[in-house]
Structure 1
Amino acid sequence: MTDNQEQLRRLEEQWNLVMAEDERKHALISDLFGHISDLTAQLAEAHMDLRDRKDMLELKRTKLDQAEKQIEDLRRKTVSGNRLSPGYERELITATQDEHVFSMVIIDGDNMPFQDEFVREGLLGGKRVASLLRKAIAEDIKTRFPSLPANAQVVIRVYANLKGLSKKYRELLPDSASFEDFVRGYNTVHPTCDFIDAGCGKECADEKIKAALKFGLSDSHCRQVFFGGPGDNGYARVFDSFLEDQTIRGQITLMAGPPFAYELAAIKDKFQNVAFDNIFRGQKLPNETNRRTSFHITPPGTPMPSNAPLSFAAAAKAPSSPAHSAPAQLYCSEPKPSPNGVILRNRLGQRVDSRLSYSQSDFSSLKDRKLCNNFHLLGKCYYLDKYGKCHHIHGEKLTAQQLEALRGIARQSPCLNGLSCSQTDCVAGHRCPREPCHLENCWFPKEMHGVDSQVID
């Protein structure tokens, strides 16, 4: 090899190193932009929550000032300058509180859709259904709680992914008026009727609904909370925490609509129930996209067990003549035991989650797919084993990088066993992923913030 060729070879090697370094820089910058975008969205949501709380606090302060002024005015009007008796003053305060009594109706619009006829009518349908719902709630309260003041307000909030719902209704009811007109009509009926766009991510509506539930149940003026979202098992975790408190259970009414999800169905009879069949659909909106992607079909040739159910997509693709080729088979993940059964803990004996390494693009793409965490991460699904079906997607096998991102998504929900968790196959989070967290109503309990992540061998 001549000197010129050797020099050329060295130059090519240096060029390849420079190009590789540039690619790493570009990848890092892309990840940073993705992370910044996610943080910006979280900050915007936190600002919205803070603004709502400030408005509500200001309203409460105004009402308190008015009540104190009424009491002071009555004191001044008493005959001969005598002060009000303590008993009468308590009655006055109670009467003032009764003026502000209300019931709150919280609806998951993605899982509790209104009857199609209202959506078809657009603006007029939105007005009609809001009026009917207010009237139905008021009549139910009057029947079941006759002791409540007649002037009690009814606050109705529907949280939904408006962009997603609009797309669904365009496919389901192509000849109807626009869904945006329906929402606009709903919002014009009464100041306490709100159809709220919670954003595109599933967790956006979930978090707002959970915060609204906590707010209603903690407000002394709120006498009853109606909840509509029977098709989502995620809310079972919320209502599980109320089962031991009879007073709180008496404040909650679950509204029937689409069939209750497994976990909610198991506890729904512990609470009061009501149904408005003329207002809400009896089934969820069809979701053909999810149905098509819920299962991964393997190439023909692998026999299927005789007792295994065949999905809708599989049945459509199955060969017409079994004699020539075997039917398709559902993909089933193999169980993955935890590594050596080791649980990481810090010096206080608190559980520490292992470090994860994944790309922001994998995290974002998997977050909205509603995958079954246990199936993909543990190789088993309680609902599939017990009931033969699961509302979350099993589908195709994920790559190692995607599994790492899915673990990060699973850790967005706190472990119910807390920092003392000793389950080797636990996939939930044991430390708030937002650290430092500034949310007032963070779903992670206080003790799961600022957890020492230094592992002690």
Structure 2
Amino acid sequence: MNGYATINDLGDVNAQLRAFKDSDERRDAFVQDLVKRYSDLQIAHRALVHDFENEKQSRRTWQERFEVVERTTNILQGNVNNNCFALALIDGDGAIFQDALLQSANEGGSDAAHKLHTEIKNHLQSIYAASSSWAVCVQIFINLEGLAKKLYSCGIVKSVTDMYAFARAFSLNQPLFNIVDVGSGKERADHKIKEMLRLFIANQQCKHVILGGISHDNGYLPGLDQWRYDQATYSRISLLETTPSEPGFLALNFRTMRCPSLFRSEHLPAKPMNIALPVQTSMQPPIQPPIQPPKSQTLATQSPLMSTPQRQMPPILPTPPVSSGVPLVPRTPDPAPTLHPLLNNGRSKSVSSTQSNGSITPAQSAATPSPSESTWATIGNKGKTTSSYSIAPTPRRDRPFILLNAFDQRLDVPISKARASFEGLDMRIKRSGKVCNNYHIIGKCNEYGCEYDHGVRLGEGERTALRIKARQKSCPDLLDCRDPHCIYGHQCVWGSSCAYGEDCFFHATHKMDRTPVMRLFENDEIQLIQA
């Protein structure tokens, strides 16, 4: 080599230049790829940073919310735990207190409330270890007036006021105990108990519910059956058994508690027992010698003078016929029964009795007449002998009344079909159209624009036939109706032998007690019917 490049040497240079060029291109591609990757990483990083910030903010937000909810939950849980209670719902028709408690009135009511509170606390303690601080609420739903009359008619209490006194004392002894008067009507107590159960069974503060006096009524079964398969709710229900339970309640297998010292284990008598009423003792007037009335005047032709003051008379004795000339000889009257007031919404009712022969003995005053007032031959102004008076009882108009059985259920007064003229009624309807029941039966119609025939009132036979037809329609209040002027029917005339069965409008009355034990008049006077 002489120091100069040859042609072969230039070829090598070109090869190297091409190699360098390829290397530069690869380097550029590599750098561009690095730049692209870095750019992509930056974009991904920014997205991750944003996501992280969002998650961090969300976590803080949820943390704050959790803390609020936790505080609220703790407060609510504390309130629930601090105000726990057990509720007893009792149907008073099926849970009758023991006779001794009812007869003690005020003392019995207080004693019953205290004993019931103790029994319920013991029952709860056997189920829940932490139940010592729970409050006990008791609601007894009852027809107070009806039960009071029933107890009185059965001779269990001396007066219906004893039942009212018992109820007041029971409610006052325990602040959360109440006897709720629901009035007459079987479904009223049932409805209240079912609605109270529906409301409180979902209340978490209500830890346990005791249902009492319902095991005789299968109407409660559908409502209880729904809780049978809900273990959480099923375990919170107990039954207070008084009278023997129906088979359907035994199949439910709820917890059962019994209080034999508090409640009767048998139903009240279906019919009232003979009540030995105390006799009002009074001095009897001495027997007077026979006194012949003056020949010039007879009892039948004289009338009491308007100026003669009226006196309180003893029980009226049978008056001999005037034409027989028999002198008026007084005799010692039979002792009058002592009056027992029956209360209805604060109003007193006078009680009279009806003998088995159907004669009515009106309620009498407890005042004792003096001998001068009790002497039959000396009626009138003292010293006068020129006038005589009729002592025959003044006929009193028939007062409207309704019949009640021992369960305070209305019975229809029988109507004699022998006096009915259905043919005459049909002729009147064909001639004048349908007649107005109220107008022709009661004597007045208060419906404005009545579309039925009024006109001349029906005769007695046609009116009797119309009454029989009107009774074929059931009264909306049925056994609870107390309107003596109600023209509709209150019981099925066929009773348990009715061919319509449950399709009968009166099917609820098919198995009712049809023995009347009292009459209830418009003025709330009650007249016991003695057997």
Q: TM-score by structure 2 length?
A: 0.40
Which of the two has higher C-alpha Rg? 2
Q: Which has the higher helix share?
A: 1
Q: TM-score by structure 1 length?
A: 0.46
